[in-house]
Amino acid sequence: MTAILTWNIQCGLGCDAVVDLARIARLAGAMGEADVICFQEVARNDPAYGGGADQVAELQKLFPEYEAFFGAGLDRQGERKARRQFGNLILSRLPVLQAFCHLLPHPAAAGIKHMQRQAIEVVVDTSAGPLRVMTTHLEYYSTAHRAEQIERLRALQAEVADNDAQPAKAAKSPYDPVPRPASLVLCGDMNVQPDEDEYRQLFAPPLLDAWRVARGSEPHPPSTGLFDRKQWAMGGHCRDYFAVTADVAARIAAVEMDAETDASDHQPLRLVLRD
């Protein structure tokens, strides 16, 4: 089995207004074994988030068996040469054959609140073969930005050549091929709801909604605003997903969500794949 967890951790800020990354680590582990962990909203050296801590370093200490891959959507000048960064983190205890950072479209949009967004991708060597895992956090305020970002994610999938025939080992030369298969798990806070146009844009072929594959017509669980009614007056609703290619969809054993924790304004989700 290969298990992947995704969670927008809001920089560790719980609904009790306490920042506690150790709590995040404990609750992530309580969901079950995870070979790859994808966190959105992770900050480094930014007083506006997490008290200015280097949350990548803190999470690496909390997950010592995992290798950390951080993608900064925002990378700004900080104090004492410490860059102020905000983005997405992937932790993997599987061998990572290669990694990619993708800045997503950020067109000019006067009068609309928005920020630069990013997706980070790793190719992990699983017992079933190489698998691409990508996580992102799409724009909340701008529909136009979100649509362009989804289109870029889909374009990234379209341009990937299936290199399954290549050996899963480190290359000696920059020109030596390393596996980057079409097989994909894309996860994160998409900031779209199941009845919106952007949902249909994202989950057009070749991408499938893992929840729908596993649960059929069962409604998506409320992954956002379940406990935090200050930010989310609308109450619980879904913004967090696993998008998978058809070959990965055929291997789904389970998709589940922790509906009990209030350690963030989002809930963690876990995908389990058969080998």
pLDDT tens column, 223-245: 999 999 999 999 999 999 999 99
Q: Of residues 250 and 166, which shows the higher confidence score?
A: 250
Tell me the Ramachandran region of residue 58: left when phi exceeds 0, alpha when psi lies from -120 to 50, beta otherwise: alpha
pTM, two decimal places: 0.96
Summarize pLDDT for 145-167 with one digit per residue, the tens: 999 999 999 999 999 865 555 66
pLDDT score of 162:
58
User: Mean pLDDT across the stretch 196-208?
Assistant: 97
* Residue 55 reports pLDDT greater than 60: yes
**Average pLDDT, rounded, for the chain:** 94
pLDDT score of 68:
98
Q: Angle 254-258-261 (CA atoms, 0-180°, nearest 5)?
A: 170
Bond from prior residue into 181 cis (ω within 30 degrees of 0): no
User: Mean pLDDT across the stretch 50-78?
Assistant: 96
Look at 74-83, 100-109, 194-203, 229-238 and tell me which has the smallest mean pLDDT.
74-83
Please give the share of the chain, as a percent, with pLDDT higher than 70. 96
**Per-domain boundaries in the chain:** 2-273
Fold of 2-273: Deoxyribonuclease I; Chain A (3.60.10)
How does DSSP assign the chain, residue by residue?
A: -EEEEEEE-GGGB-TTS-B-HHHHHHHHHHT---SEEEEEEEEES-TTSGGG-BHHHHHHHHSTTSEEEEEEEEEE--STT--EEEEEEEEESS-EEEEEEEEPP----TTS-----EEEEEEEEETTEEEEEEEEE--SS-HHHHHHHHHHHHHHHHH----TTS-SS--SSTTS-----S-EEEEEE----TTSHHHHHHTSTT-EEHHHHHHTTSPPP--BSSS-TTT-TT-SB--EEEEE-HHHHTTEEEEEE--S--SSSB--EEEEE--
